[in-house]
Amino acid sequence: MKRSPRKSAARWAELVAEFSQGTESERDFCTRRGIKLATLRKWRSRYDRAKQTDTSQPSARFVKVNLAKTVGPRSGAVFCIGTDIRLECPTSYDPSDLAQLVLAVRLGR
């Protein structure tokens, strides 16, 4: 039996979306498309997990941050974590505090 070429993750995303929007059973969908039932289930599971851990939704967790006011020119370091977190720190900011802050934000603590 000849093995069919592998489908990309993007192609599986399309197939999973197509299945989710339809009314067919998994078995009928797989038979019609010529794909294995176990493989469809594996990819559906992956995309279900990805939806559950979607980081585009705001988190309900808070991170305690203690900041000291500094006086001086606005220069120093800028750190971007993802697309929605931007930390601007003056040069006088303690590097060890900055490292703890970055780690806390990254780990969501």
- The pLDDT tens digits of the residues spanning 24-77 come to 899 999 999 999 999 999 988 888 877 766 555 555 566 666 666 655 555 677
Q: Which two tokens stand for residue 72?
A: 């001086």
Joined together, the tokens standing for residue 109 give 């603590």
Q: Stretch 5-28: mean pLDDT, rounded?
A: 87
Going by their DSSP bridges, the two strands 85-90 and 76-81 should be labelled as antiparallel
Per-residue pLDDT reduced to its tens digit, 1-10: 566 778 888 8
pTM to 2 decimal places: 0.44
- Number of helices (H) and strands (E) in the chain: give both, helices first: 4, 2
- Which residues pair with residue 85 across a beta bridge? 81
- How far, in Å, CA of 67 to CA of 80, rounded? 18
CA–CA dist 81, 103 (Å, integer): 10
Give tens-digit pLDDT for 85-100. Answer: 777 777 777 777 777 7
DSSP 6: P
Looking at residue 66, its pLDDT comes to 66
Q: How many other CB atoms are there within 10 angstroms of residue 43's CB atom?
A: 19
